[in-house]
Amino acid sequence: MCMAELVKLIRIVDAVRAFEQSQPFRYYAITDDRTCEACMKYDGDWFSWEDMVNTFPDLERISDATYLPHIHPNCRCQIIREMI
């Protein structure tokens, strides 16, 4: 791959990332009898990208639309990017 192609590719990746990070994210707790109060508290909440990374320091990226907040060990919650 030549340099110009590489630069073009990086611009596309940056644009995709900027788009992803401009979208709202929604917290989904798995709600059953094992769900703790900390997880329940966030269930259904909306976050901007910035709020999400600031609120959940252990955030793990699973895919471009799915993140795991890991607010405690064995946390089963997911944060999903919602398209607008």
Per CB under 5 A, the segment of 7-15, 19-27, 38-46, 57-65 that binds Zn ion is 38-46
Question: Considering the complex, what minimum distance in angstroms separates the CB of residue 10 from Zn ion?
Answer: 35
Q: Which two tokens stand for residue 47?
A: 């976050």
On whether the CB atoms of residues 46 and 25 are closer than 8 A, the answer is yes
Q: What are 81's strand-pairing partners?
A: 25
Among 15, 18, 36, 62, binds Zn ion (CB under 5 A): 36
Residue 79 found at the interface with Zn ion (CB under 5 A): no
Pairwise CA distance, residues 79 & 44, whole Å? 9
Residues binding Zn ion (CB under 5 A): 36, 39, 75, 77
